[in-house]
Amino acid sequence: MNDHTLAERIALYRRAGDHAVSVVAQVPLDRWDSPALGTWSVRTLVGHIGRSFTTIVEYSARPTDRMDIADAAQYYLAIAGLLADPGQIDARAVQAGLTLGDHPLDAIRELQDRATVALDTDDRVIQTIAGGMRLSDYLPTRIVELGLHSVDLARAIGVSEALPPEVADAILAVTVEVARRRGDSQTLMCALTGRGPLPPGYSIV
């Protein structure tokens, strides 16, 4: 996604966010405590989705002069160690779900609105969990999270999981680049051309 301008990435982020919120809007009232993803309930998963809005707000308010991360693929490689220990992620997701309160859909829409306001800025270097990186390079990571977890939520509640094509394309571009930098190009090439499966449980996130 390196050829995209900040404005283009903001537009795509908003498209991914709109889609995620549209899936949240389809959650039945009696399903918020139902299983969704692993040990997560629907509420916890939606809370985690909301963090793709809150991190934009939080990180945009933390400019830095130091550039540590060049792009979205490097971000995922840098946080691989954090993802290996899901405890912190689970705790943040559970807390985010609880924070949604009695009206989760309204809360998610409010978070999206706050993120939209926070993006009315220049392409500053922001302090993320992985280090300093440009806002335009961080946005693709939020598009990945919004898109993937929209699919997770849609599957959990039994509605259409189809992503907007431009969102799916953006996620594919990031994930393939992460796989390439991990040295998995041939494995991925063979899987995509019917010459062998991916290893069991393979994931770049």
Considering its fold, how many domains does the chain have in total? Answer: 1
Tell me the C-alpha distance between 45 and 38, whole Å. 10
Please, are residues 136 and 60 in contact by the beta-carbon 8 Å criterion? no
Identify the domain containing residue 121 by its residue range.
Answer: 6-192
User: What per-residue confidence (pLDDT) applies to 105?
Assistant: 97
pTM for the structure as a whole: 0.94
User: What per-residue confidence (pLDDT) applies to 93?
Assistant: 87
User: What per-residue confidence (pLDDT) applies to 2?
Assistant: 43
**Structure confidence by residue, pLDDT tens digits, 76-131:** 999 987 765 667 788 888 899 999 999 999 999 999 999 999 998 789 999 999 99
The rounded mean pLDDT for the chain is 93
Task: Give a yes or no: residue 198 inside a domain.
Answer: no
Task: Give a yes or no: residue 141 inside a domain.
Answer: yes
Task: Give a yes or no: residue 170 inside a domain.
Answer: yes
Task: Give a yes or no: residue 139 inside a domain.
Answer: yes
Q: Which residues contact 16 (CB under 8 A, 6 or more apart)?
A: 142, 143, 146, 147, 150, 164, 167, 170
Task: Give a yes or no: residue 197 inside a domain.
Answer: no
37-41, 86-90, 146-150, 164-168: least confident range: 86-90
Task: Give a yes or no: residue 177 inside a domain.
Answer: yes
Task: Give a yes or no: residue 204 inside a domain.
Answer: no
User: What per-residue confidence (pLDDT) applies to 1?
Assistant: 41
**Structure confidence by residue, pLDDT tens digits, 138-152:** 999 999 999 999 999
CATH of the domain at 52: 1.20.120.450
Task: Give a yes or no: residue 64 inside a domain.
Answer: yes
